[in-house]
Amino acid sequence: MWWTFLLVRKNNIIYTQQKEFITLTDNVSAQSNKQIDKEYFRQNIMIISEGIVFGLALISGISYLWIAYKRDLKNTARQNNFLLSVTHELKSPLASIKLAFETIKKRNLERHQNQDISKNGIIEVDRLHKQLENILDATAIEQNYYVDFINTNLTMLLDDIIDTRKNAIDESRVIYQVDKSSDTKSEFKIDVNAVRKICKNLIENALKYSKDNVEFNLAKKNNKLIISVSDTGPGIPDDEKDNIFKRFYRIGNEETRSSTGTGLGLFIVNQLVKKNNGQISLSNNSPSGSIFKIELNTK
């Protein structure tokens, strides 16, 4: 604005001087007067338009920087949250496993006590394994994931999913169903590895965030495999529904949260669905809870 103002003022001075000059040189003609007026207006319009263009460029540049800065702050906060949660998620199972071994080594325990301690140790090893697997998957998935279609049918697929969860905690709360109107025997090709990981993450979340039973449903309509997982937990607020699929994103504050996790599960689910050109939708369950629905193309 200051620069535009200076140039307009200079243009005014030149205009007045040119007017005075032609009066002094007795060269006043209607045409030269008109010419000077025309040039004066042209220059003014040019200066003001340039000023507006530079002003807008400056404003958009500053807004872009501001948005980038805010995004950066959010990313840093998410990464800090991830570091806090991953440190906790890796350290606490290791501490429990160490304690289990120390107890077995130091004390002369009964057989059933040994078994209880070993069982807890195995649970902690599984927890550690799950977190490491998620961290590795999340790192590899964006660059190195290749869709691998394998022949299967609904019954085989459900057995496969149940098999991957056979020793999981709280498994008795999962109700597995296959849609009755779907053909369970006809074979189709699908990325079975992706389906396993998607189902595992969704079921684990549903169990983690709700105390009641969790419903798992498989269906095949036209050429699409439809997976749905519903729970009756607290649900996900509307303004968080997009965020939860971002890498490291967890609702709430890491320092006050009681639930375990690293914010990678739904990121992995979303990436696998994208790799398979599928769709993911999230709706509210009634009276409370969430329903995750995934649609994947089959061959």
Q: Give the binding site for ligand ADP (CB under 6 A).
A: 205-206, 209, 231, 233-234, 236, 244, 249-251, 261-267, 290
Nearer to ligand ADP, 134 or 276 (CB): 134
Q: Which amino acid is at 72?
A: D
Q: How many CB atoms lie within 10 A of CB 131?
A: 20
Nearer to ligand ADP, 11 or 230 (CB): 230
Q: Which amino acid is at 4?
A: T
Nearer to ligand ADP, 19 or 173 (CB): 173
State the nearest-atom distance from the C-beta of 8 to ligand ADP, in Å. 57
- C-alpha gyration radius of the chain: 33
Nearer to ligand ADP, 145 or 248 (CB): 248
State the nearest-atom distance from the C-beta of 261 to ligand ADP, in Å. 2
Q: Which of 89, 168, 95, 91 is nearest to 135 (CA)?
A: 89
State the nearest-atom distance from the C-beta of 281 to ligand ADP, in Å. 14
State the nearest-atom distance from the C-beta of 240 to ligand ADP, in Å. 7
Residue 211 · residue 251 · CB < 8 Å: no
Q: How many CB atoms lie within 10 A of CB 122?
A: 13
State the nearest-atom distance from the C-beta of 200 to ligand ADP, in Å. 11
Helix-, strand-, coil-residue percentages of the chain, each rounded to 5:
60, 15, 25
CA distances from 54 to 61, 146, 292 (A): 10, 47, 48
Nearer to ligand ADP, 19 or 257 (CB): 257
Instruction: Using CB positions, name the residue nearest to ligand ADP.
Output: 261
For the packed helices 192-209 and 154-164, what is the interaxial angle rounded to 10 degrees?
Answer: 50
Residue 294 · residue 228 · CB < 8 Å: yes
State the nearest-atom distance from the C-beta of 289 to ligand ADP, in Å. 7
Nearer to ligand ADP, 183 or 242 (CB): 242
> Collapsing DSSP states into helix, strand and coil, what is residue 287?
coil
